[in-house]
Amino acid sequence: MKFAEHLAAHITPEWRKQYIEYEDMKTMLYKAIETQISSEVADRDVLLQYRLKVDEQFFKFCEKELNKINTFFAEKLAEATRKFASLQNDLELIKNKTNFSSGGDSTNAMKTIIRRLDPRELSSQNRKVHDMKLAFSEFYLSLVLLQNYQNLNFTGFRKIMKKHDKLFETDSGSKWREEHVDSAPFYTNKNVGTLIEDTENLFTGELESGDRGKAMKRLRVPPLNDHQSPWVTFKVGFFSGAFTVLLVVVVITGMFRQSQDDWKLVFRLYRGTFLICLFLFLIGINVYGWKSSGVNHVLIFELDPRDHLSDQHLIEIASVFSVFWSLSVICYLYSDLFAVPAVIHPLILVLGMIAFLFNPLPMFRRNARFWLIKIFSRVLVAPFVRVNFADFWLADQLNSLVPVFMDFQYFACFYTSSFTSNSWFERRGKKIES
C-alpha cells in the first residue's frame, strides 16, 4: 500500500487538517520535475539554481507543516496530561466516599464496603465505578490516537524526504529531516507512552483488582487501519447479487401468476419489511459517506469504538434481509404448489426479523442490536428522560418510516381478522381495509 493511502486509512478523522500534507508535498515535487523536464534545462549551473529554488520553496512548506504538527501535538499532550490528573482525582473521590483505605487490594476492598451501603447508594456507587471505567477506556483510546499521530507524521516526513532525494538525486532531504524532524518535539517527546503505561497500571490496580488481562481487554484498541475483512466484503457482494437475481424472479413471476387484486395484498404485506431493508442499506451508505468525509460518527453517537457496526456490516445485514424478503415473496407466489397457506410466509418473515432483533444470545451483533433497542426505548419515554443526540436522530428517522408503521398496523389487523374468521388456511388472504 502506498503511504498516501496508508495515511488516509489511519488518520483520526477530526484531526484531518492537523496531519502532514503529504499529497501536497508530493505534488510539489512531481510538478518541479515535470517543469524541469519540459524546460529542457541542460546547463548545470542553471539546473542547480532551479533545484535550489525548488528546495527553498519545498523546505519552507515542510517547516510550516512541522510547526503546525508540533503545536497541535503540544496542545493535545497538555490536554491529555490535565485529563489524566482529573481522572486520578475522580478516582480518589470515589475511594474516599466509600471510606476506602489505600492499602491492599483496592477493588476488592471497595466492593466490600459498597456492599454495606443501602440499595440506592449501592446503585449510585456501581454507576460511578462503571462511568470511571468508561472514562479511562476513552482516555486510553485518545492516547493511542495521539501516539499514532506521532508515528504517522514522522513516517510522512521520512517518506517525503526519501522521495525528494530520489527525484532530485541529492541528500538534502535526508539532511533536513535529521536537522529538523528528528529533533522535533512531536517526535522526541515520550510522555504519551508514559501516560499510556501509567493509565494501564492505574486501571489494572484500582479498577480491575490487579487482573491485567481483564484490564487490557477493556482498554484494548482495535487496529487503527481496521479495514473490512475480505469475508465481509464477499458476503456483501454475494447477498447483494443474490437479491438482484431474486428480485427479477419476483417481478417476472408476479407478472404471470398474480392478479391486480392479489398484488395489492402482496404490496401491503411486504412493503413494510422491504422499506426496513432499504432503510438499513441507506444507513450503510450514510456511514460510508460520514467516514469518507471525516465525520466521526462513532464519537457523535457515543458508540463503542472497539465494537460497532461499519458501513459494510450494515449493508451486509440489509442484503441478507433482502434475500430472505425475496424468498418469502417467491414462496407466497408459489404457495399453491407447496400446499401451504400463502399468508403464512410474510408472517414468518416478520417474526424472523423480530426474533433477530431481540435474540439475547451473543451472536449476530448483539451489542449493536441491543444498542438500537435501548435507543428506541428512550425515544418512547423521551418526555420523562434526558434526550441525547442518538435519541433525537433515531426519532427523526422514525418520522421517515411512517409507511412502515402504517403497514404493520394493517399487518396486525389482517392476521387478527384472518385468524378470527377461520380463513387462515385459504390460498388467498382476505383483503381488509386498514
Residue 282: half-sphere exposure toward Cβ, Cα within 13 Å: 9
- Asked if pLDDT for residue 352 goes beyond 60, the answer is yes
Q: Are 24 and 58 in contact (CB under 8 A)?
A: no
> In the prediction, which pLDDT does 125 show?
65
Confidence of residue 55 (pLDDT cuts 50, 70, 90): confident
At 359 the three-state DSSP class reads coil
- Asked if pLDDT for residue 429 goes beyond 60, the answer is no
Mean pLDDT across 246-268:
78
> In the prediction, which pLDDT does 38 show?
59
Residues 324-354: b if buried by 16+ CB within 10 A, e if exposed: bbbbbbbbbbebeeeeebbbbbbbebbeebe
Q: How far apart are CA 391 and CA 153, in angstroms?
A: 37
- Asked if pLDDT for residue 75 goes beyond 80, the answer is yes
Q: How far apart are CA 432 and CA 417, in angstroms?
A: 8
When mean pLDDT is compared across 50-54, 154-158, 282-286, the lowest value belongs to 50-54
Q: pLDDT tens digits for 136-194?
A: 888 888 898 899 999 999 999 999 999 999 988 888 999 999 999 999 999 999 999 99
Q: Are 219 and 136 in contact (CB under 8 A)?
A: yes
- Asked if pLDDT for residue 227 goes beyond 60, the answer is no
When mean pLDDT is compared across 44-58, 73-87, 248-262, 412-426, the lowest value belongs to 412-426
- Asked if pLDDT for residue 228 goes beyond 70, the answer is no
Q: pLDDT tens digits for 302-313?
A: 777 667 788 889
When mean pLDDT is compared across 22-26, 184-188, 225-229, 382-386, the lowest value belongs to 225-229
Quote the cell numbers at residue 138.
Answer: 476513552
